[in-house]
Amino acid sequence: MPVIAVVDYEMGNLHSVCKGLEKAGATPNVTYSAKELERADAIVLPGVGAFDPAVQHLRSRGLEQPIKDAIASGKPFLGICLGLQILFESSAEGIQPGLGIIKGKVRRFRPEPDITIPHMGWNQLQVTQPKSLLWEHLPSDPWVYFVHSYYVDPIEDQIRAATVTHGTQTVTAAIAHENLMAVQFHPEKSSNIGLQILSNFVAQVREKIPA
């Protein structure tokens, strides 16, 4: 089974993510070791919490450059929730610079009379990259589980793989570009749809492993 490094930087629900990856047919390895990231077949960066502590913890553990190197090398990479947001250049939630792997900013939902912030619960994706391997074997525009007050706003539209609408605001829900994939929702909390998304990621990892 492919070994997938799950980055431990004190900001993620690691147990749920690992259980999801195991069900998807992978061997998760929770680690904050740069050498383990390099040895792994793929990397998952989960995240729950605030932007500034997240990037500070990553940098204090010396993980910023290893993550950048892994993505640049073509290694399959999946960011989840906060693990998507910290890939960007900056966030309205804090003052720390993000990793800057993706050009763009993280913005806060505008208050509206009939919406709640955070955006929490099940919502329907509008898939904008229907050929992305993330969505294989899924119904069109599937329902997934969200918990977030901030959303990513990439400069390059073509990396947007799905959007979601909350109130009158339609925002990015997933990105995909070559080996780099990241989602704002929680696949590990999204029942069978989420498990299929994780299985699709694991299938891509298997294809990269030399026979």
Write out the chain in H/E/C secondary structure.
CCEEEEECCCCCCHHHHHHHHHHCCCEEEEECCHHHHHHCCEEEECCCCCHHHHHHHHHHCCCHHHHHHHHHHCCCEEEECHHHHCCCCEECCCCCCCCCCCCEEEEECCCCCCCCCCEEEEEEEEECCCCCHHHCCCCCCCEEEEEECEEEEECCHHHEEEEEEECCEEEEEEEEECCEEEECCCHHHCHHHHHHHHHHHHHHHHHHCCC
Please identify which of the residues 57, 148, 166, 186 carries the catalytic annotation.
186
Please identify which of the residues 57, 81, 119, 166 carries the catalytic annotation.
81
Please identify which of the residues 18, 119, 148, 188 carries the catalytic annotation.
188
Q: Catalytic annotation on 178?
A: no
Q: Catalytic annotation on 22?
A: no
Q: Catalytic annotation on 81?
A: yes
Residues noted as catalytic: 81, 186, 188
